Structure formats: structure tokens, C-alpha cells
Structure 1
């Protein structure tokens, strides 16, 4: 193996990088609360952009810009597939980077402001005089936003395996992501949903209101990103030569656990993102009040926050794979309640709670499982490719967005969902036929995707005994390298 020359884009010297290198034993030290909190703040920062777009961009495109649901479905499909490939590009950049700030943290420092500015632009797209031109401009801005988001989110997600190798602490980091993301999602819904109700039928007033909110979240997002940057350190460190494309492909091609995790995640999260794409429409036209989205979101956040602290205990008691299957079961149960009884608000609340209980558990476990696949790749190939591994996992998650949103928006378009915010659109979208389509997405999609995801995860090959063996082997290798070096 050739000797590494870890010089980053900022010109950091090998001496500076060696000075910043932690003791290999630090990787097995327990994490203090402040580190876990700071890591969770990073996901909260990401979600001031991501959850904003995920929860309200389809509504904004359809209601404010007046684009048909079928067009928005196509935009979502094309842009999110592009974003998925952008994640792979970002992963290659990350694996080629090393600076005095570490491998991953510099992207959070330098990329956060461009992301937040682009988020404001994403929700201030002007009418271009025709639907076609407006759709093209919206798609281009959305695509640029997605690329910049990838250049932050890939390093942020890759950061977790570089913070600790302790399985329980990785569970805590995954839980912190859940807390951070869910709290910001609730805040977004608390701020935006009343505006939708208040400005119903007035697209210009809704545009102004959303723009002001986006500027406020720009400031909040920057604060959260800086808390993350200054509050975490990379403690799992291995100097490696820059991985070639062939090496990166070999690491991920031979990573069977990563393949099963990605496949199951695409299916499961596709169901979640499909629900998310139509949830605001569901509350407006099936339940009859846009502000009820606040209560659904609150039920979802409570479910996520209730389950997140139990993730480390679930990992310790039944393991990650069985815990994931438990999350799928809750997701399916919630879908059944929504499909059969979701037209009644109390049952819609209950169904949404159970679906999000499953989402919260599995989202937490996914991040812990992804960290395990990084260890597997190094254990099997002796090359540690956090960026390439995480970027493939993020590719899968982006594909799940594309799949879920396309299926959901195309389905409601088939049922006659109408763009715009005028009286004709409201009358059409409150018809029994359209309401049935919305209910089928909200309830039927979790049932189908939960079953398929569980079937795939049944074959995930890393159990807790295998993981312990891998970590022990890798720890011994690093100690030997430290002595030899």
C-alpha cells in the first residue's frame, strides 16, 4: 500500500494533520452529552432546508406557482434522481478531502450559508408567464439546491462513524439526528401551516408570508450548523491514500450489508416521503382544515421523540435488524388505521402516530446500520470509504424521495387533483373522488412499502455478534499500525 499524503484543499500540511489526529483509543471512549447534542443540531440545521422543501415544496409548486400535480411529480422525479447522483459526486469529493479541521466538518462550515440562501430562493420563484417556463426555472433552482444540500449532508452523515465506534453511542447519535430533525420539522409546520389556512385562495399573500419565514429559517439554520461544527470532533481516524474510483467501487460493490440496507431504505422511505408529499393536501381537503397539519405533525414528532431514546435499548436487547422489523410493523399498523378510519381526525391522528413511531425507530436504526456498513467495508477491503459508503446510502434515500413523491403526486393527479388555489380548485379537490385518492396514498402506501421493506431487511447479514468481531479486528489493526508507524 502506498504511503498517504493527506493534504486538503486548504493546503493543510501533513504535520498539521498529524497534530490533529486523535489517539486511536478515543474511538472507543464514551461520548459526552454535549457532543451528541451538537451532532443533533447539525441534522436540525439540515432540516431547516430539507424538511422545509419536503413538507411544503409540492404545495408551493402546485398552489402558489399553479403547476399541475403531474408536472410537479415529474419535476420531483427528475430532480431527485439528479440529486441522487449528486450524492455520489459529493461522496467522491469527501473521500478525497482532508484538512486541519478534519475530513467532514469543513463542508458544514463553508457550505451552510449557500444552502440556506438557495432555500430562500427555492420558495421565491417568480411566475415566468407560462407554466412550461415556470416549471423549467423551478426545476433548475431545485436541482442546484439539491447539489449544494448534498455537499453538506453527505459529509454530515459520514461524520457519525468518524465520531465513535461504540455501538450504543452510535445509537445515541442516530437518536440525536431524529430529535434535531423532528423538532425543526414541528417548528416549520407550526409556522407555515397557519399561513396556508390564513391565505387560502390568495397565492400572492401566501408567497410573501413564506418568503419572510424562509429568511427567518436561514438565520436559525446557520446557528444550528455552527453549533454542530464547533461541537463535534472526528475521533475515528485513519490516514489512507486517496481512493481511486475503482477502489471506492470495490468497497461498495462487495458490501452486501450496504446493498440490503439501501434496498430496504428505498422502499420504506418511499412510503414515508409519499405520505409527506400529500399530508398538507390531506389535512386541507380530507380533514377540512389546513391547520390540522400541525396536530398531525405534532403526533409524528411526539412518536419520533418517544421512540428515539429507546433505540439504544432496542439495539442492546434485540439487535438492529429485529428492531428495524419492529419499526416496519408499526408503519404498517398506522397505514391500516389511516386507510380504514383516517377520514375521522382522531383516527387520522392515531394512524399518523403509529406510522411515525415506525419511521422514528427505523430512521434512527438506519444511521446506526449505515455506520456498521462502513466498518464492514474497511474490515473486508482494508479501505475506509465513509464518503462513498454514505453517498450510496444517501443515493438510496434520494431515490426513495423520487419514488415516493412521484408515486404519490402521480396517483392524486390520476384521481383528478387540481392545481391552483381558486374556488374551482377547492371544489374539485374536496370531491369524493379526489379525497379517496388522497386517503389511498396516506394509508395504502405505508402498508405496501412497510411489507416490502421488512421482507428485504430479513436478509440483512450483520448481526450483533458479527459487528463486535469486526470492531475488535479493526481496533487491533489500528493499534498495530500505530505501533508500526
Structure 2
């Protein structure tokens, strides 16, 4: 095995060629992540506001504060996986088996409704404690290795694009399950059913562990790049300086931050739209189903389209489609059936970008290696992950601020007409403006067009062929 700082490559056992088993297995990893992530992202605000009775500003402040904490835990986890001695089952896979149960258990405990009758301070302490334990500790410890793993499953750009598509397919399936099934289970007209929330959280935690197991037993790490000796590796601060001058990393971080601000802000207020604007919470299932199903065509068409046009080029078209669809909904104010059609079109455009985002990150990791001569998969991914979490935090904070600004009253039997109009604006216009920022970043700032990605891949292949002990991906099936 490789000790930290050693130039000796790990003992290499034979692994099967890259193929469908890896793609499906990697998909289940995102499915596992999202069983705990999506209940936090889409239902935490409505649950703790309507069931537990927490002030939405307190919820938003918690999420924002914890995401600042994640700046340290994410980067720390990235450095740990980059420098720690690999285990027999690889550099990243061991973390899946270590953390699967703790991350699922902490999520389930967060949403247990027996705290609703406690004193306000006790309820607040429970929410803060378990949210930090879930997000800043366990979710970080499993998500950073999982996301970084794509760079060692294969060294081929087309394989990595396929892994990104399959990972995003897992996210879409998880979204379909959570966003369509959860409202049917936990909402009854305009009411929120507290006991069912707790049971749903437990069930999702069990499913998360099963999906993590499917990831672990079906994915192989194939690319082994021996770390440089400790004396030759960039120090932490020098590495950070190098990363913060990486134009591709900075651009994708800003693009992702704006995208998440828009998309998750939309998710934060979605339940309020259907409960209060349309007056029927279960309509959320219909809209979510219509918005999610068309995206599965991307599983078939994305790989050939990427080969022809490139990832960045496709992402630009997809984000533009989202912005257009959401603005059309806002200004046209259609009835529910037309609203669903336009929302589905916008969601399909967003899915085009989301299906490719993880391949973007691997391209950025390669770009950093070309620039620095050092492989830092975990650290680069950790910085991107932290940016995503900042987007999540800001969306939660802005969700609380937005609801407060439009005069939302959690205990009111019916909201005022001005508040109803505000909910419509928060759901449609605000996300469109954030995604317009993403579009501009992709067009004018992000540098990794199709030809640059191919050049970087060739440079790294030549370098690895010249370094003894480096192991590249096996041939595909």
C-alpha cells in the first residue's frame, strides 16, 4: 500500500474493464446521497416552520452558518483523502462503507416530530445539533470521496461524461421519488402531517444505506496516480493559491453557486406555491413528475451530443432554456396545466446542465493537474462542494428572508393576496435571474470548451505514460 508521501504505487489487483456496472453503481451513489439531502433541501423549511414551529429566519440562519463551517470541513476532508494512505479497497471507496450508516441515522433523527411539543430553545438545539452532525460531519465525509471518485473510475473523457450522466440520472430518480411521493404522504390539502414526516425520514434513511451498498459493490477505482513525496508536494497555502488562480475552477464555482441559488430557492418555496397559491399541496407531485420525466431521455442522447458539441456548449443551451421557461411562466401567469408545461420545459433545460456538471468538475481537476503537475482530486472537489453548500445555505437564508419580506404568516388560515403574488414571484422570477447569471458565466468566463478538454486529456495521458507506477484505466467493455 502507498504511504502518504511515498512514490511507490499501491499493490494492483486485476480489475474488470469499465462498463455498465460502474455507471449504474455510480448512479446509486447519488441516489443514496439524495435520500438524505433532498429532504433537507426541499422540506426542511416547511417542516420546521409548519410542524415544529421554528421561525423561518432562524432556520435560514442555521443553514447559512453551517455552510460557513463547511468551508473548513469540506476542504479538510478533501485534503484528508488526498494525503491519507489508501485502504485495500481504494482511495475513496472506504469512506462509503465507513459513513453510510451514520449519515442516514443523523438525517432520520433530525425529522422526528416528538420534538414539536418541547420548549422553543430545546427544539432549536435539536435542530441545530443534528443538522450540523448530518451536514458538516457525515454528509461531508461521504460526499467528498464519492464525488472525487469519478476521476479514478476511468481516465477517458467520454467515460467520465457517462458517469456524470448516470450520476445525474440517480439525482433525477431521487428527485422524482422524493418530490412526487413525499407530498402525497406528508401533505393533506393545505395541512402538513407531522407523524408521517418522521416515518418518511426513517424510510429514506434505510434506502440511503441500501443505495450506498449498491455503489460500493459495483464501482471500481482504476486510475492510480502515485502521490509525490512529501517534500515535493505543494504545501496547503501554495495549493490554495494555485486553485484560486484556476480560471476554470473559479468560473464553475460561481456558475454553480448562482445555479444552486436559483434552483434550491425555487425548491424552498415550491411547497408554499402549491399549498397557498394553488391551494392544493398534492399538485406538487403532478408538477414534479412532469418536470422530471422528460429528463430521462438525456440518458440516451447526452453521450453522442457531448461527443459532437461538447459539454460546455450543451450546458449553455440548457441554462438558456431554463431562463426562458421560467420568465415565460412569470409574465404569462397561466392556468395550472400550462404552468406545468412551461415548468417542465424549463426543468428539462436545467437537467441538460445538471446531467453534465460532474463531468465539468473532473475536467477542472484535470486542468488543475495540467497547470500544477500535482493530482488533487479531493481538494478540488471539496472546494466545489463547499461552493455548492454555500449556494444551499444562501438559498435557505433567502427563502426565509423572502417569505418574511412578502408577509408570509405560518399560522394564518389563508395568506393575503399580496403574499400570494409574492410567492409566485419568488418561485418563478427570482430563480430565472440567478440562472441568467450562470448563463453569462458559462458564455464569457468558463474556458474549458471541447477542444481544450481534449488537449488536457492528451497531455495527462502522455505524462502518465512516462511515470513508472502510474496505472491508467483498463479498456472499456
Task: Give the equivalent residue in structure 1 for 2:353.
Answer: 362
* Partner SS state of residue 239, structure 1: coil
Aligned length: 462
Corresponding residue of 2:475:
none
Distance in structure 2 (CA, Å) of the matches to 1:200 and 1:444:
24
Q: 1:320 to 1:111 in 2, by over 3 A?
A: same
* Partner residue in 1 for 2:158: 168
Aligned counterpart, 1:393: 384
Alignment of 1:60 onto 2:47 = yes
1:37-116 equivalence runs, <5 A: 37-97=24-84, 98-116=86-104
1:6 to 2, 8, 27: 2
Tell me the TM-score normalized by structure 1: 0.89
Aligned to 2:144: 154
Structure 2 residue 373 is matched with structure 1 residue 382: yes
In the alignment, which residue of structure 1 is the partner of 2:126? 137
Deviates more, 1:207-216 or 1:146-155: 207-216
Q: Is the 1:286–1:343 Cα contact (8 Å) retained in structure 2?
A: no
The alpha-carbon deviation at position 274 of structure 1 amounts to 0.3
Are the counterparts in 1 of residues 256 and 388 from structure 2 also a CA contact under 8 Å?
yes
1:440 to partner: Cα distance: 0.8
Deviating more after overlay: 315-324 vs 301-310: 301-310
The 8 Å contact of residues 21 and 237 in structure 1, kept in 2 or not, is answered as no
1:441 and 2:426 aligned: yes
Matched, 1:228 2:221: no
Matched, 1:465 2:451: yes
1:207 to partner: Cα distance: 2.5
2-side partners of 1:369 and 1:56: how far apart? 29
Measure, in 1, the Cα distance between the counterparts of 2:470 and 2:71: 40
Instruction: Give the stretch that moved more between structures: 217-226 or 65-74.
Output: 65-74
Cα distance between partner residues in 2 of 1:199 and 1:207: 14
1:348 CA drift (Å): 2.3
Taking a change above 3 Å as real, the CA distance of residues 484 and 454 of structure 1, as seen in their structure-2 partners, is closer
Q: Aligned pair in 2 of structure 1 residues 418, 356: CA closer, same or farther (>3 Å)? A: same
Q: Is 1:321–2:312 an aligned residue pair?
A: yes
CA contact (8 A) 1:67 1:419 kept: no
1:219-274 deviation line (CA, Å, top 9, x unaligned) = 21111101101111111110104654135324423422111110111011210010
Q: Deviations over 1:10-41 (max 9, x none)?
A: xxx9999323487xxx9xx7x31111000001
Tell me if 1:427 matches 2:420: no
Q: 1:186 aligns with which of 152, 162, 176?
A: 176
Q: Distance in 1 between matches of 2:323 and 2:294?
A: 15
Verify the 8 A CA contact 2:49 2:56 in the aligned structure 1. yes
- Counterpart secondary structure, 1:481: coil
CA change 1:117–1:484 in 2 (3 A) is closer
Distance 1:335 1:218, change over 3 A: same
Write the distance in 2 (CA, Å) between the matches of 1:141 and 1:177: 27
CA RMSD of aligned residues (A): 2.4
Give the Cα–Cα distance (whole angstroms) in 2 for the partners of residues 440 and 17 of structure 1: 55
Where structure 2 has 5 or more consecutive residues not aligned to the other structure, the ranges are 472-477
- Indicate the larger mover: 289-298 or 83-92: 83-92
- Say which structure is richer in helix: 1
Aligned residue in 2 for 1:301: 292
Q: 1:483 to 1:35 in 2, by over 3 A?
A: closer
Check conservation: 2:25, 2:219, Cα contact below 8 A.
Answer: yes
Distance 1:270 1:228 in 2: 29
In structure 2, relative to structure 1, the CA distance for the partners of 1:264 and 1:14 (3 Å cut) is closer
Residues 1:263 and 2:225 aligned together:
no
SS in 2 for 1:127: helix
Query: In terms of mean alpha carbon deviation, does 75-84 or 269-278 score higher?
Result: 75-84
Give the distance between the partners of 2:90 and 2:320, measured in 1 at CA.
40
Q: Any conservation in 1 of the 2:257–2:388 contact (CA below 8 Å)? A: yes
SS at match of 2:176: helix
Alpha-carbon distance in 1 for matches of 2:53, 2:401: 16
Task: Give the corresponding residue for 1:245.
Answer: 236
